[in-house]
Structure 1
Amino acid sequence: MRKSLITAFGAVLLALAGTSPAAAETAATPYTPPTGLTATDLTFRNGGTELHGSVVRRADLDPAVRHPAIVLVHGSGAGPREELGQEAEVFARAGLVTLIYDKRADYTKTHRDYSALADDAVAGVRAVAALPDVDPARTGLWGLSEGGWIAPLAASRSAEAKFLVTIGAPGLPPARTQAWNLINRITRAGVTPSTVDAIVGTGMGLAVATDGFPQAAYDPVPALRAIRQPVLALWGELDTQVPPRESAEVFRRELTASPSVTIRILPHGAHAGRVTTDGYDRVGGPTINGFAMGELLPGYGTLMTDWIAQVTGGRLPASAADALPAQGSDSIPVSGVGPLWWAAFAVIALALLSWPVGALVRRLRGGRGRPAGARPARWLVLTGLIALVGGVAYPIMTVATSGKQTEAFLFGQPLAWLVLRVVTVLALLCTAWAVAALRSAQGRDRLRLAVTTAGGLLLVPFALSLGLLLP
């Protein structure tokens, strides 16, 4: 029973996410550099996976001289190379041979493999280091957001990467990081904190339990401890997607093997080092695939390129760390719902469904008339199933859509959640009505009504666990 429920919930998550693990391979995305830069196509392989990228250079770069190079690793999303065009321009104009590449085609919302993605980045480093105008001893990695899990993992596996730069890198597991992100986003939309915690807690717990949230428990600490390259790690002070204080603390504490660790906080900066007014919006910049990229923060690019010039010039900087930024709230651990949750859901559903199933059997046997308690039982089945299924489906939908449609409608409640709260109260009233009707029921009808009523009574603690009955 539990296995079939997990499969069903996983299918719902996949449908709501609108993706499939077996995503078809997409065509390579072209990249057109701005004036003063050139871009040449580069195809490289990680085992059986072919990857396509663009090598971006300054147009006046001397091809007879070996130059430092850098490979850029995407954050979450489909990852066409053009999304990293702003950063590529910064590095290329500073004289670095810069590789941006399209993410592998089997990456989706519900399927991703950090190990394979890290190996893609390592393959990119090897491909760039083999170019005639690149100095392999001065070639490194840069990772953004989710790439802040992947690029460190790649660096920990390959000494061919000589330095590492991250921006907005998470220091916590993906499920915990995304829960913090969702809580911030939904709270900002006016939803009360207790409701946000209930919705996100249930949704993330189900996503983890049904494998609908990929790499949910990935721990970045082992990779960080294995990094032996110099590291520059940056976070925006106003980052609302990745907890900047907690993540910076983890990097500062765990990069024990690195000879040089520099931690910088970008004042008034958003996630990804962008200009923002409040941490949620992005100001200026190009729009790519309908997404406003935002302008890079003033000084952000120079900070990175100056640090890289120092490292590749043989002048290893002493380790240093800025004061850590404040966070509106701390992140909370996330784990999948356990066997008792699945058992409770199944028992309540079966108890409520027993009434219509029993009614069908009674009719097939030629039974006539309406049994005692039929009216409260029918209303209990209707309201109870709506509360049960809706109370689970809405948090799943919230997680699958990253909370984009979740905002306060009345009393700090999303409309759908408010309706579910009302329906849950009606289900409890129907349960009381059914309990009263038990006095007049007899025989099999009494047993049927008792089972259905038990489902209504069990709905009380279950609804409390979902947050449907709390203020």
Structure 2
Amino acid sequence: MEVTPQHLIRRFVAGLAVAAALLVAAVTLAAPARADENPVDLTATSVTVTASDGTRLGATIYAPRRATGPLPGLVLVHGSGNSKQDSVRAEALAFARTGIAVLTYDKRQLDAPDYSLLADDALRALATLRTQEGVDPAQVGMWGISEGGWVVPLAAEQTDDVAFVILASASGLSPIRTQTWNMRNKLANADVSGSLARTLSDRTYRVADDAGMFAESGHDPVPALAALTRPVLAVYGTTDTQVPAAESAAILRETVRAPLTLRFLPDAGHTLRVLDDTGDTTETLVAGYADAVGTWVRAVTGATPPTGESGPTPVQERTSVPLSDTQWWESWNAQLTALGLLLFAFLSYPIVAAVRRIRRAGVPVGRAARVLAVTGPLTVIGFVVYFVTVLDGADWRGIYPGPTFAGRPVLWLGLQLGALVTVVAAAITAYTWRTAGKDRVRLGVLLAGGGLFVPWALYWGLLLP
């Protein structure tokens, strides 16, 4: 058989795949087991949580190996994202070692969060744990971190089977208000100020929310918190920049009528885990966290639910701000339409010029119009590319908008300069439009783009300091 270049490529790729598989197998066999992979002091029992719609969620129950008598139980509810049970395994092991039977389960895979559905899954996990041998069915509670702090109260208000509630880094505010506060912190940590900071922490979420890209954005946690009747423990890190801990604690004090205990862990971030030298989260919980949970659960199950607060109260450098109502011009379809009109108006000018050149029917073109036809679309397209790139690169660690100068990213300053040149060129072109003769229609379309560009650029901060 003839060996073509395609055959060679296929063989090369296949060879690489085999080599990679062998390498992975060798590394897996040679690598040491993860710490606590099979903890000798705990039992790990695999179970299945069957959701109300029949979805089967893998789960594991960790418990002290030498436990005597029925144990209190705790169901762990994940934070945001499509997480597997291993994402909270560190918490499960640490809490189990304090004398608790802890169930972790694979979070339902969703394109967007649905708190009611997630709450129902948590209740099914609770029912599963309550039926396990060695677990006291009357003393099983729920723990929820971050997003789980919105889900757990929704689940707990539906049944008396939830004996107690533990909220870790839980926001007392709506998701969208929490996220805008989070973004403001990211931008401040990146030394970004001025119009870009307002654009990324305000305008972005208005359009995203209007387009339905921010599921559960307006969820109000207060009604579910107020409905809680069982003891509540809320734990916050004093250096959390993702959830406004001080505000959230104040809301819990005002809202929760059940016995409430607040614990503030010094120098702890949102995950309540130790960070390594690069800022990544480790598998180790911050000092005092697991002990605080274990001690509190023992007190609650001993019929003496504690109340009060301990630890330094978090100090927020900035207060969260609610988004005002979105106006019609801020809607996603209005903004998308504006983008389309801007590009059409700006690009039609050079396209017509190219057609005329082919037909050898050129018309004199003013210098300002040429500048407008170039800087207009470049600024619009550049803004969209920069905007999407910066947002896509943001994660829980922070945001990187590029090198900054005086609180403004250099690339953003370049876009602002392009916007200013566009406005000046539009003004000059408008002044000469009356004497344009046969070219007045084409210039009129170009000027329409320049006119629309001004309010659009003002809204997105390109013409603001």
TM-score by length of 1: 0.82
Equivalent residue, structure 1, for 2:79:
75
Higher deviation after alignment, 224-233 or 332-341: 332-341
Task: State the secondary structure of the residue aligned to 1:135.
Answer: strand
Structure 1 residues 414 and 312, CA gap change in structure 2 (3 angstroms):
same
Judge conservation of contact 2:48–2:57 (CA < 8 Å) in 1: yes
Task: State the secondary structure of the residue aligned to 1:219.
Answer: coil
Shift of 1:451: 3.2
Judge conservation of contact 1:168–1:235 (CA < 8 Å) in 2: yes
Which residue of the other structure, out of 366, 375, 379, is the alignment partner of 1:387? Answer: 379
- In structure 1, what is the Cα distance between the partners aligned to 2:359 and 2:367? 17
Shift of 1:131: 0.8
Matched, 1:44 2:49: yes
Shift of 1:194: 4.2
Aligned length: 424
Equivalent residue, structure 2, for 1:216:
217
Matched, 1:350 2:349: no
Structure 1 residues 355 and 409, CA gap change in structure 2 (3 angstroms):
closer
Shift of 1:344: 6.5
Equivalent residue, structure 1, for 2:457:
463
Structure 1 residues 422 and 267, CA gap change in structure 2 (3 angstroms):
same
Matched, 1:264 2:268: no
- In structure 1, what is the Cα distance between the partners aligned to 2:254 and 2:390? 34
Equivalent residue, structure 2, for 1:3:
none
- In structure 1, what is the Cα distance between the partners aligned to 2:265 and 2:399? 27
Equivalent residue, structure 1, for 2:134:
133
Deviations 1:312-354 (A, max 9, x none): 1111224557774210101121367532235476357425524
Which residue of the other structure, out of 413, 429, 436, is the alignment partner of 2:431? Answer: 436
Judge conservation of contact 1:235–1:264 (CA < 8 Å) in 2: yes
The equivalences for 1:328-347 within 5 A come to 328-334=317-323, 337-341=326-330, 342-343=333-334, 346-347=337-338
Equivalent residue, structure 2, for 1:228:
229
Amino acid at match of 1:58: P
Task: State the secondary structure of the residue aligned to 1:157.
Answer: coil
- In structure 1, what is the Cα distance between the partners aligned to 2:420 and 2:350? 25
Higher deviation after alignment, 47-56 or 396-405: 396-405
Aligned-pair identity (%): 36
Equivalent residue, structure 1, for 2:191:
190
Judge conservation of contact 1:44–1:50 (CA < 8 Å) in 2: yes
Structure 1 residues 409 and 250, CA gap change in structure 2 (3 angstroms):
same
Q: Which has the higher contact order (CA 8 A, sep 6+)?
A: 1
Task: State the secondary structure of the residue aligned to 1:272.
Answer: coil
Judge conservation of contact 1:200–1:398 (CA < 8 Å) in 2: no
Deviations 1:286-330 (A, max 9, x none): x9xx95336322112111111110001111224557774210101
- In structure 2, what is the Cα distance between the partners aligned to 1:325 and 1:171? 14
Deviations 1:46-71 (A, max 9, x none): 12221111101112124xx3211000
Structure 1 residues 347 and 271, CA gap change in structure 2 (3 angstroms):
closer
Greater C-alpha radius of gyration: 2
Shift of 1:192: 2.0
Equivalent residue, structure 2, for 1:249:
250
Shift of 1:123: 0.6
Which residue of the other structure, out of 69, 90, 94, is the alignment partner of 1:86? Answer: 90
Amino acid at match of 2:42: L
Equivalent residue, structure 2, for 1:447:
441
Structure 1 residues 251 and 264, CA gap change in structure 2 (3 angstroms):
same
Matched, 1:316 2:308: no
Task: State the secondary structure of the residue aligned to 2:432.
Answer: helix
Judge conservation of contact 1:58–1:95 (CA < 8 Å) in 2: yes
In structure 2, runs of 5+ residues without a counterpart are 1-33
In structure 1, runs of 5+ residues without a counterpart are 1-29, 276-281
Amino acid at match of 2:293: M
Task: State the secondary structure of the residue aligned to 1:137.
Answer: strand
Equivalent residue, structure 1, for 2:107:
103
- In structure 2, what is the Cα distance between the partners aligned to 1:404 and 1:302? 34
The equivalences for 1:141-156 within 5 A come to 141-156=142-157
Amino acid at match of 1:334: L
Task: State the secondary structure of the residue aligned to 1:271.
Answer: coil
Higher deviation after alignment, 454-463 or 346-355: 346-355
- In structure 2, what is the Cα distance between the partners aligned to 1:213 and 1:344? 17
Amino acid at match of 1:112: P
Equivalent residue, structure 2, for 1:158:
159
Structure 1 residues 408 and 190, CA gap change in structure 2 (3 angstroms):
farther
Q: CA RMSD in A?
A: 2.8
- In structure 2, what is the Cα distance between the partners aligned to 1:398 and 1:366? 40
Task: State the secondary structure of the residue aligned to 1:234.
Answer: strand
- In structure 1, what is the Cα distance between the partners aligned to 2:401 and 2:350? 39
- In structure 1, what is the Cα distance between the partners aligned to 2:159 and 2:38? 29
Higher deviation after alignment, 136-145 or 217-226: 217-226
Amino acid at match of 1:252: R
- In structure 2, what is the Cα distance between the partners aligned to 1:359 and 1:273? 57
Amino acid at match of 2:89: G
- In structure 2, what is the Cα distance between the partners aligned to 1:413 and 1:355? 27
TM-score by length of 2: 0.83
Shift of 1:218: 1.3
Which residue of the other structure, out of 50, 59, 64, is the alignment partner of 2:65? Answer: 59
Shift of 1:197: 2.0
Shift of 1:36: 1.1
Judge conservation of contact 1:235–1:272 (CA < 8 Å) in 2: no
Equivalent residue, structure 1, for 2:181:
180
Structure 1 residues 391 and 34, CA gap change in structure 2 (3 angstroms):
same
Shift of 1:268: 2.1
